[in-house]
Amino acid sequence: MGEEGAGGTVHLLCLAASSGVPLFCRSSRGGVPARQQLPFSVIGSLNGVHMFGQNLEVQLSSARTEDTTIVWKSFHDRSPARSLDITLIVLSSEKGTSELRLERLLQMVFGAMVLIVGLEELTNIRNVERLKKELRASYCLIDSFLGDSELIGDLTQCVDCVVPPEGSILQETLSGFAEASGTAFVSLVVSGRVVAATEGWWRLGMPEAVLLPWLLGSLPPHAARDYPVYLPHGSPTVPHRLLTLTLLPGLELCLLCGPCPPLGQLEPQLLERWWLPLLDPLRACLPLGPRALPAGFPLHADILGLLLLHLELRRSLFTVDPSGDKGPTPEHRRHLLRSFYTLVTGTHFPPEQAAPEKAALAAPRAPLPRACYLVTGPEEPGAGWRLVALQSGPRQLLLLLSPQSPSHGLRGLATRTLHALSPLL
């Protein structure tokens, strides 16, 4: 299994497909934004071969060369009211990059474009230069998908969450604050991860449920914001207001609302009443950014990282910080778990097999796998990192374990860990 994201370059192209005019090009090298741009002749060739296939009624979705993976994705809307024709192309020379990862990257990028500028601006493009300028506001969010993020929602399409030590108190306060502020969509976010949210917020569709917390993590710190956003699934043409208030550095209160309430009204009237008495529980949320789990949560000493997914709720817990500095670096751990997730999802636990009600209606087929494991790294006996995946009902658990963990005990360890984590998600 290759180490996804280790070195290499990623180029992301956005074009108006009907004209082939590039709208933007973003690049990263080794997970860091880069200024390197592709020559116009290469961009034209990549778009031309895609259009050539379409003219022959052949859908070109991906290709591989000796050192590069290329994925194309067109977003069409040929309804009578509008005409949308945007093509996104991504080229990656990162070792071990999967087509699944690149396909989901393009879905997130298009969602970010709609989130910031709205679907109406991407339809019936009359002024290309104006659209280019408006899309610049989405670069910060798009670049965060290309970089080495600590989040994983771009790949799993599940909301990155954390488990606060006093979650019931925070949830009760959040619900009261939402009612007092007159909006059903409120959440508490630390470092791009949701700490607590109202029922209305959890009902947001995809991809906005993932994009909104991710957007906050990509923006520069501010005490308060009044930010217009479109909801790619729920309201792609009518903007909403995303209000954010910083309770503590790195911990933000987010409200999704209409014209009311004014931002200035929230601070003096509501913040002191609802949140000042909760300073200690709020401070306890700050370390949860990288760890996701409360301090002292019992995990086996061999666990170097974990990813827990609830596929029905579309929520996840992701951490590579359960055991201090032992083992590979956090960046290496994230690369290993992300690569293992794409392998598991693409081969053993395909998304369409995760829904039991769909499986019941399908034709009888071979039993679905419930667990798998992989050893990667040095080939010497007793060396190499252990990776194990377990599926139970709507939950999936992926673990990264130290080389000392015996292979014959991986499934038992994963099962016990899943039982301990299940009440949290």
Q: What is the pLDDT of residue 135?
A: 94
Place of tokens 């984590």: 421
Residues in the chain with pLDDT values less than 70 = 1-7, 76-84, 267-269, 323-326, 351-367, 378-382
So what's the pLDDT on residue 354?
Answer: 45
Residue count (the chain): 425
CA neighbor of 21 nearest in space, from 98, 128, 137: 128
β-strand 315-319 against 159-161: which pairing, if any?
parallel
Q: What is the pLDDT of residue 363?
A: 53
Give the distance from CA 109 to its chain's centroid: 11
- Domains, in order of start, for the chain: 9-146 (3.30.450.60), 159-290 (3.30.450.30), 299-356+367-424 (3.30.450)
- Residue 58: per-residue pLDDT: 80
Tokens of 47: 């778009």
Q: Which amino acid, residue 44? A: G
> Hey, is 10 helix, strand or coil?
strand
- Residue 50 CA: distances (Å) to CA of 44, 69, 75, 76: 10, 15, 13, 14
Structure pTM? 0.90
Q: Please report the pLDDT score of residue 197 as a whole number.
A: 96
Residue 176, both tokens: 């009261």
Predicted pLDDT at 11: 94
- Tokens representing 299? 């995990």
CA 291 to centroid of chain Cα atoms? 17
Structure confidence by residue, pLDDT tens digits, 159-185: 999 999 988 999 999 999 999 888 999
Quote the pLDDT of residue 92: 92
For residue 77, the model assigns a pLDDT of 61
CB within 8 A of 214, min separation 6: which ones?
141, 144, 151, 153, 154, 160, 192
**What is the torsion angle, in degrees rounded to the nearest 10, for the CA atoms of residue 383, residue 148, residue 38 and residue 35?**
-130
Would you state the pLDDT for residue 375? 87
pLDDT of residue 379: 58
342 backbone dihedrals φ, ψ, rounded to 5°: -65, -35
Q: Are 97 and 69 in contact (CB under 8 A)?
A: yes
- How far separated are the first and last CA of the chain, in Å rounded? 29
Distance in angstroms (rounded) separating the CA atoms of residues 206 and 193: 16
Query: In this structure, which amino acid lies at residue 128?
Result: V
Helix (H) or strand (E) holding 139: helix 139-146
Q: What is the DSSP string of 186-199?
A: EEEEETTEEEEE-H
pLDDT value at residue 122? 87
